[in-house]
Structure 1
Amino acid sequence: MAEYTLQQDLDFALALADAVDAFTLARYGANDLLVDTKPDMTPVSDADRGAEQLILAQLAAHRPGDSVLGEEFGVHGDSSRRWVIDPIDGTKNFVRRVPVWATLIALLIDDEPVLGVVSAPALTRRWHAATGLGAYVSEPGGVPGSIATRQIQVSGVASLADASLSYASLSGWKEAGKLDGFLELLDQAWRTRGYGDFYSYMLLAEGALDAAFEPELELYDMAALVPVVREAGGRFTSVAGVEGCHGGNALASNGALHPAILPYLNR
């Protein structure tokens, strides 16, 4: 198996995101967009499938020894170097022409997420990080048409009374039997909003929010988010407090707020 530096893998992932962005933007708002319902009753569009097929083809060509887990086409290979892909995180937004959606590209080595790219072309924003290399956002610059990249860092807010929190799925917290504690937590905060999906975690990494949490997630929903949050100085765990993205749900914070939040979500 060929060996790559983390910087080489990151450069490849960013180039891959460029290609996928061009494809998904062309399908965003298209009159002939095809939308089906998956067995779990969530929507999937031809853009989701086409984007993942594009990624699979590029990985086969440029990282043939690596394995892949994608939302739409499942597992390919069994290498300890595993790319985890969500071609469009926020499909419900995508099909309704809400611009908050993104392609998530992660690399896991021995099940540890070491690289994440979160590309939201309809928002003209992209976040990326790799272990030891920092976390960054690329966004419109001061000159029209330009893109500027800056390093990002979580906030220093240390009290729930001063914190801005983001959540998702009230019904999900109810189904998990955690609604009472969840609502108590919201009552303690300075501000609460349901930004949802990848966006909550990227705003956290930028320091615009102080914590984000969701009751039910898949690996492909979370893997790309972890390096960005961690490299920005934050913490990413399950609701039970287990580090990483393998717990089926998520609590991400600036780190300082984690001990205060965990008891509410485990009532």
Structure 2
Amino acid sequence: MTDSPAATDFASDLALALRLADAADAQSLPRFDASDLRISTKADRTHVTDADLATERAIRALLAQERPDDGILGEEFGTEGGAHRQWIIDPIDGTANFMRGVPLWGTMISLAIDGVPHVGVVSMPALGRRWWASTGAGAWTASDAGPRRVETSAVSSLDDAAVSFQSVTQWADAGHLPALLRVAERVWRDRAYGDVYSYMLLAEGRLEMVAEFDVKEYDIAAAVPIVREAGGTFTSFDGIETIAARSTLASNGLLHDAFLELTRATSNP
């Protein structure tokens, strides 16, 4: 593995993904906590703001110029083109936070090849933070001194582990509340940081596990290469390496099997 963030077969795609994130930030950040933010409700009863729509439009417009032959899957405007090389976009992950003025939201941009994410960029402009990765080139974040490589933690005991989950209701609705309670009783610390920020904390070695349910591909695709290139493991709740299972269990790698065993032991049959 190289020490350069750009020395990879996906160098040009990663460079484009970072430009896409710049375009996204230019749309989303000026609308954050805006008094005239326009909010509507989608058919699935989730919220969408004018910033979500403008951000995805900006990303799609740049992709149309730079990668017209690639497919796109976005939260707000669906699927366009094929799925061999597919850009997977969540324009604002954490819309509920965004519309309430909570800065824990971000744009997620990924390039997947035949369903496997190989490039990931997560930009959280309200925090002034960005993370990125591509297969074989490590996981990185921006710092005052320039790009800094991030790595998952070396914690190897559940007793010392910190975990994050989306919400108690989410685990209960999925039939896994007993598993969540068992995890909380077993580990050192549990918190519901929620959304994409949890995965970035995991990649930086500040958490040892993140798990959630009812997630779409665009909710997680960008986080996958970042977590994996940081040294972690990213699977479904059942331990399968896929982004299509509607669940996740991501870890620092060292504790992945232990978390799978712990959650399976307490899940409903």
User: Cα offset for 1:79?
Assistant: 4.4
- Which of 81, 98, 105 is matched with 1:77 structurally? 81
Q: Decide whether the 8 Å contact of 1:155 with 1:209 is kept in 2.
A: yes
Q: Which amino acid is 1:258 matched to?
A: H
Alignment partners' CA distance in 2, 1:150 and 1:108: 24
Q: Give secondary structure in 2 for the equivalent of 1:166.
A: strand
Alignment partners' CA distance in 1, 2:242 and 2:200: 16
Alignment partners' CA distance in 2, 1:107 and 1:256: 27
State yes or no: 1:208 paired with 2:199.
no
Q: Decide whether the 8 Å contact of 1:65 with 1:79 is kept in 2.
A: no
What is the percentage of aligned positions where both structures have the same residue?
51
TM-score (norm 1): 0.94
- Which of 16, 21, 25 is matched with 1:21 structurally? 25
Inter-CA distance 5–156: structure 2 relative to 1 (3 Å threshold): closer
Higher relative contact order (CA 8 A, sep 6+): 2
User: Cα offset for 1:33?
Assistant: 0.9
Match of 2:255 in 1: 257
Cα offsets for 1:145-197 (capped at 9, x unmatched):
xx632000000111111101111121111111111121011100101111000
User: Cα offset for 1:90?
Assistant: 0.3
Match of 2:3 in 1: none
Alignment partners' CA distance in 2, 1:235 and 1:91: 26
Question: Is there any run of 5+ residues in structure 2 with no aligned partner, and where?
Answer: 1-7
Match of 1:144 in 2: none
Q: Decide whether the 8 Å contact of 1:169 with 1:215 is kept in 2.
A: no
- Which of 64, 71, 87 is matched with 1:60 structurally? 64
Cα offsets for 1:95-146 (capped at 9, x unmatched):
001001000000001111000000000000000000001100113x2xxxxx
Cα offsets for 1:55-84 (capped at 9, x unmatched):
111111110000000000000011410000
Residues 105-184 of structure 1 aligned to structure 2 (within 5 Å): 105-139=109-143, 141=144, 148-184=146-182
- Which of 85, 93, 99 is matched with 1:95 structurally? 99
Alignment partners' CA distance in 2, 1:46 and 1:55: 14
Alignment partners' CA distance in 2, 1:108 and 1:132: 14
Match of 2:239 in 1: 241
Between 237-246 and 64-73, report the one with greater CA deviation: 237-246
User: Cα offset for 1:23?
Assistant: 1.2
Alignment partners' CA distance in 2, 1:79 and 1:252: 24
Q: Decide whether the 8 Å contact of 1:182 with 1:264 is kept in 2.
A: no
Could you say what the CA RMSD is over the residues aligned between the two structures, in angstroms?
Answer: 1.2
Q: Which amino acid is 1:198 matched to?
A: V
User: Cα offset for 1:215?
Assistant: 1.9
Q: Decide whether the 8 Å contact of 1:216 with 1:250 is kept in 2.
A: no
Between 55-64 and 169-178, report the one with greater CA deviation: 169-178
Q: Give secondary structure in 1 for the equivalent of 2:126.
A: helix
Alignment partners' CA distance in 2, 1:148 and 1:38: 40
Q: Decide whether the 8 Å contact of 2:166 with 2:193 is kept in 1.
A: yes
Alignment partners' CA distance in 1, 2:213 and 2:57: 29
Q: Decide whether the 8 Å contact of 2:21 with 2:107 is kept in 1.
A: yes
Alignment partners' CA distance in 2, 1:113 and 1:194: 25
Alignment partners' CA distance in 2, 1:216 and 1:20: 25
Match of 1:195 in 2: 193
Q: Give secondary structure in 2 for the equivalent of 1:123.
A: coil
Q: Decide whether the 8 Å contact of 1:35 with 1:43 is kept in 2.
A: yes
Question: Is there any run of 5+ residues in structure 1 with no aligned partner, and where?
Answer: 142-146
Alignment partners' CA distance in 1, 2:45 and 2:232: 33
